[in-house]
Amino acid sequence: MSTIQSPRGLGVFLLLPILMAAFCYYTLNQLSSHSPIRNRNIALLIAHPDDEAMFFSPTIQSLVDPSLKNTVQIVCFSIGNAEGIGNIRETELLASADLLGVPNATQSVLIYDEPGLPDSMTQAWPEDLVASVISESLKDLREENNGSKVDTFITFDKGGVSSHPNHISLLRGAKYYLRHYPVHHEILLYTLDTVPIYRKYLSIFDAFITTLLERKSDDTLQGEGEEGYSGNGAPKSAMYLSNWQAYRTAQRAMTEGHKSQMVWFRWGWITLSRYMVFNNLVLDTDRS
């Protein structure tokens, strides 16, 4: 007798849709209680062309929603020239940003080719040089946006998602900038949460795990009298879960936008990675 024909196997088979429905209901209910980032002039700081698609697609597609009244721009700190095709990857980044819904990508995406910030899996970038490029980019973005100042950074956290030294250097450089350019101390800094490898490839299912952990953390903070907002009313965390259409758009940003990067193992990433379908951002208030 096959497993599914046995009473126990049949019970498990019938229980799966119920469990999936409960998972969806709980996750969406928890996410609906999180206020998104809104009314902000945002600069997404990435290290290489394709970072925006591989790691930040849910965030970008959510933040460009006109109802949130955000301005979304991307600052890329290298052309990704490790294999000598940086000129191709620059063009691909613009195509990807356009697919993800970034308005006026040719003006909203800045790509730098600073010799001191090479595309490297082994070399960290000097935080003061990263800060200098940030300063230059903010001037350029202000010119492109009729004098409107960037008030929010979004970038990688100290784990860099993949422990990539270039990713990690962006956080250090952003903090250096906020410490040493005091005129801009009011800028908010959100970081993308790095999760253990066993959660990295759970796709949408990690949204359920994250919301459970977030709920436990929220209960603890409420018990200590803390709330989920910073002093200026910005959310201390934000979660973005893509629907099927947005998930497919994120995949297209890689398969159609970043064609040069679609080697065999990236197919596994765009299929299984939780970052292709779900992002959770945390407000970083530690300037050290």
pLDDT in tens, 208-235: 888 888 766 555 444 444 556 555 668 8
User: What pLDDT score does 221 carry?
Assistant: 46
Q: Tell me the pLDDT of the chain averaged across its residues.
A: 86
pLDDT in tens, 147-173: 789 999 999 999 999 999 999 999 999
| DSSP classification of residue 215 | H
| For residues 179-205, average pLDDT | 89
d(CA 110, CA 115): 16
d(CA 207, CA 100): 21
List residues bridging with 42 in a β-sheet.
72, 152
What CATH code is assigned to 37-283?
Answer: 3.40.50.10320
User: What pLDDT score does 38 carry?
Assistant: 93
d(CA 110, CA 188): 20
**145, pLDDT greater than 80:** no
Q: Residue 14: what residue type?
A: L
In the chain, where are the structural domains located? 37-283
Instruction: Give the burial string for 216-231 (b: 16+ CB within 10 Å, else e).
Output: eebeeeeeeeeebeee
Show the beta-strand stretches assigned E in 210-262.
237-241
Which of these ranges, 8-17, 85-94, 174-183, 236-245, has the smallest mean pLDDT?
8-17
What are the residues whose beta carbons fall under 8 Å from the beta carbon of 35, sequence distance 6 or more?
228, 229, 235, 238
| For residues 1-19, average pLDDT | 55
